[in-house]
């Protein structure tokens, strides 16, 4: 396959850099981790995206997860077109909010009461505020490699020791915010236990991606999530599952259903908006009754429960809840897993492949990945080569070793076969 031309994308990027920070509206889109310039996309349909130069790509980014049905699903598009004629925003209650919240609660029984917001960042930020209001405590625990949005208190890296208070991970984050965040290694139950034994009376909540999707993909060790649940109950600390990425992706009921863990609170986004901006948080009724106007913890949003986002979410979940849908999704995901593993083995390249439901990641390492420290040992140079070779073959992957890929219902057997052939060629370039 001839190398694709990106003349128009490069021209748009040059123009964008003059009026948008770095030329992009979200950092990972800039391709700095893999080299080259980003694609500018003109359209998408099914499993494919099309750039402004007319190139076609099999897409495994899927808008970073939401497009689980595939791009421009006709049922969702038709419903949105109809919804647009009724109005794009009301700033007032609508029956659609109740319908989607009910569907979420049915899929996630732990979310007894649900509040709609506009993004995953809003969901995690709000859930932490509610947990603090409920417990009367200030400090929180997060884990290395887990990303919970760009709120100040969450852009925090670990201090000098495993259980020390964090320091800002970005300029503009006050040190006082970071002092209330404790960062621990993922999959290290001993470090977590010691921290609670020492500081539980100061800790309002623990927030965690039950499957880490922002460091590639890191699975919890057997017993790890169960240990977190047991210890948080013992010490009266609110356990928050950030399922913005894993929600409806690991299973219809998310990671908490797959691992049989009931958190106190859950944050969702991505899939529940069917491609439109949306988020939600919810949990035990006694905790959620702290939220204004029922309780004293303030949180608001002009566009929360937006009728277009609610419509897209409802139609998406209707399709996902149909019998056999997840069987198809898992079969496709398993086929891709075997294809990519087989291509790497045939080419003689050592990789570690991990999958959780419809999420996946290939690390360029021969060591198992259980933590962010393990993930950082991957050969990012080899990943960069792999990414660029795959792009040249018409395969769109996330432009970072530390991001997950996603499967959709729209991906075909031919897509998977073409991906396998492209991967073999790319791996051979690296071997």
Choose the catalytic residue: 242, 264, 374, 415: 242
- Residues whose CB is less than 8 angstroms from the CB of residue 83 and which lie 6 or more positions away in sequence, other chains included: 307, 308, 311
Residue 217 tokens read as 């993909």
Choose the catalytic residue: 57, 147, 224, 363: 147
Does the annotation mark 188 as catalytic? no
Other CB atoms within a 10 A radius of the CB of residue 5 amount to 12
Q: How far, CA to CA in Å, does 172 sit from each of 152, 177, 226?
A: 8, 11, 36
Distance from C-alpha of 421 to C-alpha of 401, rounded to nearest angstrom: 20
Helix (H, G, I), strand (E, B) or coil at 54: coil
Residue 73 tokens read as 């699903």
Other CB atoms within a 10 A radius of the CB of residue 121 amount to 19
Does the annotation mark 242 as catalytic? yes
Helix (H, G, I), strand (E, B) or coil at 406: strand
Element holding 77 (H helix, E strand): helix 74-84
Other CB atoms within a 10 A radius of the CB of residue 391 amount to 23
Element holding 413 (H helix, E strand): helix 413-430
Q: Are 104 and 280 in contact (CB under 8 A)?
A: yes
Other CB atoms within a 10 A radius of the CB of residue 343 amount to 22
Report the largest interatomic distance among the alpha carbons of the chain, rounded to a whole angstrom.
Answer: 62
Does the annotation mark 270 as catalytic? yes
Q: How far, CA to CA in Å, does 421 sit from each of 112, 268, 415?
A: 46, 35, 10
Choose the catalytic residue: 270, 352, 382, 389: 270
Considering only CA atoms, which of 205, 199, 228 is closest in space to residue 133?
A: 205
Q: Which residues are catalytic?
A: 147, 242, 270
């Amino acid at each position: 396959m001839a190398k694709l031309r990106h003349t128009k994308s490069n021209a748009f990027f040059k123009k964008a850099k003059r009026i948008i920070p770095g030329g992009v509206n979200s950092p990972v889109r800039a391709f700095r981790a893999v080299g080259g310039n980003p694609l500018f996309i003109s359209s998408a349909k099914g499993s494919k995206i099309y750039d402004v130069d007319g190139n076609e790509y099999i897409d495994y980014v899927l808008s970073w997860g939401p497009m689980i049905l595939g791009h421009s699903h006709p049922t969702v598009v038709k419903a949105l077109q109809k919804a647009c004629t009724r109005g794009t925003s009301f700033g007032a209650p609508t029956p659609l909010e109740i319908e989607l919240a009910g569907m979420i609660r049915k899929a996630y029984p732990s979310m007894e009461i649900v509040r709609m917001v506009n993004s995953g960042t809003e969901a995690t930020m709000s859930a932490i505020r509610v947990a603090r209001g409920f417990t009367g405590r200030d400090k929180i625990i997060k884990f290395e490699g887990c990303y919970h949005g760009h709120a100040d208190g969450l852009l925090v890296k670990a201090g000098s020791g495993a259980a020390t208070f964090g320091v800002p991970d970005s300029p503009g984050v006050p040190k006082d915010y970071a002092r209330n965040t404790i960062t621990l290694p993922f999959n290290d139950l001993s470090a977590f236990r010691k921290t609670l034994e020492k500081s539980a009376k100061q800790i309002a909540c623990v927030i965690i991606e039950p499957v880490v999707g922002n460091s590639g993909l890191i699975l919890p060790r057997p017993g790890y999530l169960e240990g977190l649940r047991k210890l948080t109950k013992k010490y009266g600390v609110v356990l928050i599952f950030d399922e913005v990425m894993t929600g409806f992706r690991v299973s219809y009921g998310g990671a908490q259903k797959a691992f049989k863990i009931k958190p106190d609170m859950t944050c969702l986004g991505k899939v529940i908006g069917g491609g439109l901006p949306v988020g939600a948080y919810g949990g035990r009724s006694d905790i959620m009754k702290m939220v204004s106007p029922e309780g004293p913890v303030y949180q608001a949003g002009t566009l929360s429960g937006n009728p277009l986002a609610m419509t897209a979410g409802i139609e998406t979940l209707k399709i996902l809840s149909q019998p056999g849908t997840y069987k198809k999704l898992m079969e496709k995901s398993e086929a891709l897993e075997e294809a990519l593993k087989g291509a790497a083995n045939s080419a003689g390249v050592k990789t570690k492949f991990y999958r959780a439901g419809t999420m996946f990641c290939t690390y360029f390492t021969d060591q198992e990945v259980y933590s962010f420290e393990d993930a950082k040992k991957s050969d990012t140079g080899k990943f960069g080569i792999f990414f660029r070779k795959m792009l040249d073959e018409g395969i769109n992957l996330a432009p970072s070793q530390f991001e997950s890929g996603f499967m959709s219902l729209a991906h075909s057997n031919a897509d998977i076969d073409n991906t396998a052939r492209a991967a073999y060629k790319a791996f051979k370039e690296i071997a």
